[in-house]
Amino acid sequence: MSSIRKACSMRHPSLSTELPKGMIFPYGDRALPGRLAEDYQALLALCDRLEQVADDLPGRIDRQDCLILSRAIGPMLNRIQHFEETEIFPVLLEWPALHGELLETIERLKLEHQVDACYAEDVQDMLHGLGEGRPHISSDAAGFMLRGFFESLRRHVAHELQLIVPLIELVLRRNPSAA
């Protein structure tokens, strides 16, 4: 079992002593896990709405919904990715016991952010075309694009829910100075 998994499962008694005493996490904030969990729920809700659009293709499209989604995807993704990269990941990387192993995982998550952000631009444009009644790709292609996007995003969020939320809770719980 990796040290990250041990930390998540809370079965690694030595971790509490691996944190330097009095260590201050510069970005520490006890509300972080709650904010993060809310953001993940928002992303999963977004995925559900995109799946609904895909299911409604080609004849039952709600154009207004497509326009709303086309405007929401970019800013929502951008805000949440920025929050993770500037407030969550740095807190985790301050944890010396896990730094090496986490670094690789976090670099991969950041790479996924970039891929999702690029993909989101295409989905945004496609939804805008659907919303305006001027689709620029076929319904099959639009459905394929939507499913590729939300399935990838769901996998990313599932991974972060399983790994990042428990870790950030653990780090903050074991470091009383991070208020």
> What residues make contact with Fe ion under the rule CB under 5 A?
84
- CB nearer to Fe ion: pick between 101 and 112: 112
**Minimum distance, C-beta of residue 113 to Fe ion, in the bound complex (Å):** 6
Judged by beta carbon, residue 25 or residue 40, the one nearer Fe ion is 40
Q: Give residue number: closest CB to Fe ion.
A: 84
Q: How far is the CB of 174 from Fe ion (least distance, A)?
A: 23
Return the number of the residue (80 or 142) whose C-beta is nearest Fe ion: 80
SS3 31: coil
Among 39, 163, 31, 38, which residue's Cα sits nearest to residue 92?
Answer: 163
> How far is it, in rounded angstroms, from Cα 176 to Cα 66?
46
The two tokens of residue 138 are: 């076929």
Q: CB of residue 177 vs Fe ion: minimum separation in angstroms?
A: 26
Question: DSSP assignment, residue 96?
Answer: G
